[in-house]
Amino acid sequence: MTRPEGGHLVGQRLRARRRALGLTLEEVAERIGLTKGFLSEIERDRTSPSVASLVRLCEVLDLPVGSLFAGPAAGVVRAAERAPIAFGGHRIRDVQITPAGTRWLLAIHSTLEPGGGGGETQYSLRSEEEMVLVLSGRLCVTVEAETYELGPGDALTFDPRRAHTFVNPSRTDPAEALFVLVPPP
């Protein structure tokens, strides 16, 4: 049996949940119609249950089936391993700093040359929230008709479905910013 991402096996997750609920092997086995021995083999990842048994087991343990196959609880993206991404704009270098496959959050570290940004034409994104934190330099963010000038440490949160754009207003100094997007559910 192969380990899912994150190194935890399905059986180990089932056992941890059963123990957290204070249930014995006997109690769970009886509720789902399996033998105690077979359930023990499942929990030790020596055998796999049928889909029907797995669904019943998750119902008894009040556990979403999908959570058994979830990725790691944490993900590290080392600075040296970040790859540039083409998110758009001009005179800007973007790198994704959230692990690939992260579903609920997208974080992008952007370095903007003087005058660099998202472009003159405002755009919208199909996301729930967007936040920008200026790390260094200055950034002007325009959301519809309102422009916000941000300096180091300043943050702006807005609805990215509204037309917006951004620019480093400096003619001489670069700017760095962290953009965080929450994708739609």
Q: What is the CATH architecture assignment of 79-182? A: Sandwich (2.60)
Convert the pLDDT of each residue in 88-139 to its tens digit: 789 999 999 988 777 788 899 999 999 999 999 999 888 899 999 999 999 9
Convert the pLDDT of each residue in 44-68 to its tens digit: 988 878 777 888 898 899 987 777 7
Q: Is 96 exposed, middle or buried (0-12, 13-18, 19+ CB in 10 A)?
A: middle
Domain 10-69 identical in fold to domain 79-182: no
Domain ranges of the chain: 10-69, 79-182
**pTM for this model (two decimals):** 0.65
Q: Report the C-alpha gap between 162 and 31 in whole angstroms.
A: 51
- For the range 57-62, what are the long-range contacts, defined as Cβ-Cβ under 8 Å and sequence gap of 24 or more? 57/14, 57/28, 57/32, 60/23, 60/28, 60/31, 60/32, 61/14, 61/17, 61/18, 61/21, 61/23, 61/28, 62/21
- One of 1.10.260.40, 2.30.30.220, 3.40.50.2020, 3.40.50.970 is the CATH number of 10-69, namely 1.10.260.40
- The percentage of residues in the chain with a pLDDT greater than 70, rounded to a whole number, is 91
At position 16, the amino acid (one-letter code) is A
